[in-house]
């Protein structure tokens, strides 16, 4: 597992975000995302965790502070590559699963043959290779989310940003996707920043949890989850997991009290 000494992939320094309507979503946010880690941002709604993710993605400009990409210069791939998974699957309903996953490559003018191979590999990774020609609405909610993840993976991103991707799914599907996501992460070694409001999900998935407090959104506490990978059903029912969940839950409760 990545030691704390892993190089930083992206760092936020003193980041603040105030929306035009005067709401302060973030103030003085300090966050360092390290190469190869699975980092969860955990917090109550309104703590700005999604806003932080959008700022990292470049979809939103910080009103204060800075975002730095230390390795950008030697990336050699024309800048940092980001995959983003939204809370909803956010698929184009008018076209097939294949074309949905192809989209990032198409927008980057990747040659069709090469792109088709990448799409097949990404669909294979999420177990949907047989559904290439299906339309999104012919799939279940969990399968749509898998397509969304395949689309995020198809560019082989250095950083995968996930904004409460499983919040709308039932628990059974969610557990399954948690397991599968960890498998993908271990296979690809992509850095993941995962936004969630579920203590259990964050403990199961992460190396590190950043607990955020609201009004204004800021980092409240940081917990290292040292349990070894691979984590599976045994881990989910272990005393160690329960203990980690309790610690994290306590930290979240304090964050919510502080954010009052």
Q: What is the 3-state secondary structure (H, E, C) of 131-152?
A: HCCCCHHHCCHHHHHHHHHHHH
In angstroms, the CA 36 to CA 163 distance is: 18
- 106 touches other proteins by CB under 8 A: yes
Q: Do the Cβ atoms of 92 and 99 come closer than 8 Å?
A: yes
Work out how close the CB of 118 gets to other proteins at its nearest, in angstroms, rounded to a whole number.
14
CB-nearer residue toward other proteins: 54 or 231:
54
| 12, 29, 82, 181: residue in contact with other proteins (rule CB under 8 A) | 82
Give the Cβ contact number of residue 218 at 10 Å. Answer: 22
User: 223 by DSSP, 3-state: which?
Assistant: strand
CB-nearer residue toward other proteins: 155 or 202:
155
| 88, 180, 183, 250: residue in contact with other proteins (rule CB under 8 A) | 88
Among 79-87, 169-177, 212-220, 235-243, which window interacts with other proteins (CB under 8 A)? 79-87
- 107 touches other proteins by CB under 8 A: yes
Nearest C-alpha neighbor of 205 from the set 157, 241, 154:
241
Work out how close the CB of 259 gets to other proteins at its nearest, in angstroms, rounded to a whole number.
26
Work out how close the CB of 226 gets to other proteins at its nearest, in angstroms, rounded to a whole number.
33
User: Judging by beta carbons within 10 Å of its beta carbon (0-12, 13-18, 19+), is residue 147 exposed, middle or buried?
Assistant: buried
Q: What does the binding site for other proteins look like in residue numbers (CB under 8 A)?
A: 54, 57-59, 82, 84, 86, 88, 90, 92-95, 103-104, 106-108, 135-137, 155
């Amino acid at each position: 597992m990545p030691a704390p000494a892993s190089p930083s992939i992206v760092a936020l320094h003193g980041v603040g975000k105030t929306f035009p309507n005067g709401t302060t979503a973030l103030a003085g946010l300090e966050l360092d995302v390290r190469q190869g880690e699975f980092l969860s941002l955990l917090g109550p709604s309104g703590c700005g965790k999604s806003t932080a993710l959008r700022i990292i993605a470049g979809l939103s400009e910080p009103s204060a502070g800075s975002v730095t990409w230390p390795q950008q210069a030697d990336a050699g791939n024309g800048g940092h590559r980001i995959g983003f998974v939204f809370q909803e699957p956010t698929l184009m309903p008018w076209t097939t699963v294949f074309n949905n996953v192809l989209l990032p490559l198409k927008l980057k003018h990747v040659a069709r043959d090469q792109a088709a191979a990448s799409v097949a590999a990404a669909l294979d990774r999420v177990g949907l290779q047989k559904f290439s020609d299906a339309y999104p609405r012919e799939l279940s909610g969990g399968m749509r989310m898998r397509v969304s993840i395949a689309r995020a993976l198809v560019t082989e991103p250095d950083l995968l940003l996930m904004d409460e991707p499983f919040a709308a799914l039932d628990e059974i599907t969610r557990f399954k996707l948690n397991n599968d996501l960890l498998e993908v992460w271990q296979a690809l070694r992509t850095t993941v920043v995962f936004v969630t409001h579920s203590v259990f999900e964050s403990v199961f998935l992460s190396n590190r949890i950043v607990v955020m407090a609201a009004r204004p959104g800021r980092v409240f506490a940081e917990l290292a989850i040292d349990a070894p990978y691979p984590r599976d059903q045994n881990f989910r029912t272990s005393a160690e997991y329960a203990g980690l969940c309790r610690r994290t839950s306590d930290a979240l409760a304090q964050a919510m009290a502080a954010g009052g």
